[in-house]
Amino acid sequence: MKKLIIPVLTVLLIGIHGCGGPSTARNKMDNEVTTARDMEMSKEYKGAIHLTKQDFLHKVMNYEENPENWVFRGKLPCLVDFYADWCAPCRTTSPILEELAREYHGKIHIYKVDTEKERELAAVFGIQSIPSFLFCPMKGNPVMTSGIARTPEETEQMFREQIEKILLKSKS
């Protein structure tokens, strides 16, 4: 029994030292460098923007102040993606919308609303299935769509057409 205790204690001590020793300090420094680098990159990043309820009220539409009328508050037309992390079609649309957010930077905003975290927003807009998309032009009423096309390429084309037709009012 004593022969078994000494090797077990040795392994435990090595494990504890490894978890709390110099490597932890190094990991902390690495994390701080990564955080600083991420902050610097975020200044340049022009992808989709995650919204909370408060962000939505400020940047898109304040349904608490104007429950009966649509009053768009944005500076650019926007597309709002109502999604959940567990949703496979939502995971398909995510990289497509990130790419489109960069491509249309300065012309439209692409926002994302996590329906699991922002249940009130999902309820206000009657989200029954995800992904659902709210297209908000500068003037006029928004348009709600849901679902995606059969392939990522067709989904990207679908978004491009809707952005041009609904948000940018281009003649297609």
Return the active site residues. 87, 90
* Residue 25: Cβ-neighbour burial (10 angstroms; 0-12, 13-18, 19+): exposed
Phi-psi sector, 106: left (phi>0), alpha (psi -120 to 50), beta: left
Q: What is the DSSP string of 123-158?
A: HHTT--SSSEEEEE-SSS--EEEE---SSHHHHHHH
Q: Select from 90, 122, 123, 101 the least CA-distant residue to 167.
A: 101
Phi-psi sector, 107: left (phi>0), alpha (psi -120 to 50), beta: alpha
- Amino acid identity of residue 132, one-letter, is S
* Rg of the chain over all Cα atoms, to the nearest angstrom: 23
